[in-house]
Amino acid sequence: MTSAFHDLAPDEQALVGSWTAAVAGSVHDEVDRRILWLVSRRLTPLAVAEGGWRQLYRDPRDGRLWELTFPHGSLHGGGPRRLAMITREEATEKYGVCAAAP
């Protein structure tokens, strides 16, 4: 069985998921599910900040750095995910790690 999701494209800079209300709770949209797939199966974890509310990843294919955040943290489970590309300088400032290219 093949996945319906795909790796990050060179021109992508941010993915923002959303939830829709359903009778039995929230339903994650396709973007939110893709972000979860990327961080669990494609991207390499590098660092965590703010008790896990911010997470730093590297795309092993091109070395770009990605930050996973939960912009609606007041919602159950942190709400929908946001995955955005960040610079090495931002990564060093936010996570205190040297995020040099692999």
In a domain, 9, yes or no: no
d(CA 74, CA 60): 32
d(CA 57, CA 5): 18
Instruction: Tell me the whole-structure pTM to 2 decimals.
Output: 0.83
Instruction: Classify strands 19-22 and 25-28 as parallel, antiparallel or unpaired.
Output: antiparallel
Domain hosting residue 24, numbered range: 14-95
pLDDT at 40: 97
In a domain, 44, yes or no: yes
d(CA 45, CA 75): 24
In a domain, 21, yes or no: yes
Tokens of 56: 């730093």
pLDDT at 80: 86
d(CA 13, CA 8): 9
pLDDT at 45: 97
pLDDT, tens only, 30-80: 899 999 999 999 999 999 998 888 999 999 999 999 999 998 765 555 678
In a domain, 46, yes or no: yes
Domains held by the chain: number: 1
